[in-house]
Amino acid sequence: MGFVKTRDGEDLFYKDWGAGDPVVFIHGWPLNADAWEDQMRMVAMNGFRGIAHDRRGHGRSSQPFTGYDFDTFADDLNDLMEHLDLRNATLVAHSMGGGELARYIGRHGTGRVSRAVLLSAIPPLMLHGPGNPEGVPAQVFEDIKKGILAERSQYWIDASEGFFGANRPGNKVTRGNREAFWFMAMQENIQAGVACVDAFARTDFTDDLRAFDVPTMIVHGDDDQIVPIDATGRKSAQIIPNAELKVYEGASHGIAMVPGDKERFNRDLLEFIKR
């Protein structure tokens, strides 16, 4: 564990487990590196080096009031990659982290990257519009911001239900899943929470996806209530050259944490990084 100083003076917390080719995990919103503990341990136990950082404004990293845009997040990731001199790295990103991964490749290329994994990820574009009829209406994002600003602790408790699909019959979501979500969300500062909504709702990553030139696996649940697969995962698979799309039937947004889906994803991830 340690910290890296960004080019603009912020501190990014990161975990660094194991040895071998690096697997860099990029968390979703409003989580932090702890969301990847199962996968971090799994890759470290199988001859790889697992690395995960807290995005600025989240977890143990610096908590600035500004800087919550994807160019900044991508440059933060680049600072981490250069600080640790990571090469032949697999980048694995969940949800909002998928935008960070895409913009990183769009801005910094794949010189240090060998593979990419997009899990329940937001690219190419979340916001509904004439060119994206499958997207999420703007009012949904406005309501999210209102909920955070009104009483964020209760908002995060409520949001955990749809995030994990706890409102679906026969789900395997645990109380621990939902409490872990709340705990990590409460470590994100309120300004980051609101500003990130605007960033992940409105940023178009289409051109970034076209810059992918490494093997890419896309994993998405077809019952994702947060990031609809038809607006995101399926479209990304059409844009990224030779991308492999794995659709988990009935799976929620929180695939990497929910029992059953988590184990399936871990198997798919390990098989992919061993190729």
- The answer to whether 253 is a known catalytic residue is yes
- Comparing CA positions, the residue from 27, 231, 243 lying closest to residue 125 is 231
- The answer to whether 252 is a known catalytic residue is no
Helix (H) or strand (E) run with residue 154 in it: helix 138-164
Please tell me what DSSP assigns to residue 41. Answer: H
Integer Cα distance of 228 and 40 in angstroms: 26
259 token code pair? 């029992």
CA 196 to chain centre: 12
Residue tagged active-site, from 220, 224, 236, 261: 224
Integer Cα distance of 260 and 275 in angstroms: 24
Residue tagged active-site, from 94, 128, 220, 253: 253
Residue tagged active-site, from 61, 95, 120, 236: 95
Please tell me what DSSP assigns to residue 259. Answer: T
- The answer to whether 95 is a known catalytic residue is yes
Active site residues: 95, 224, 253
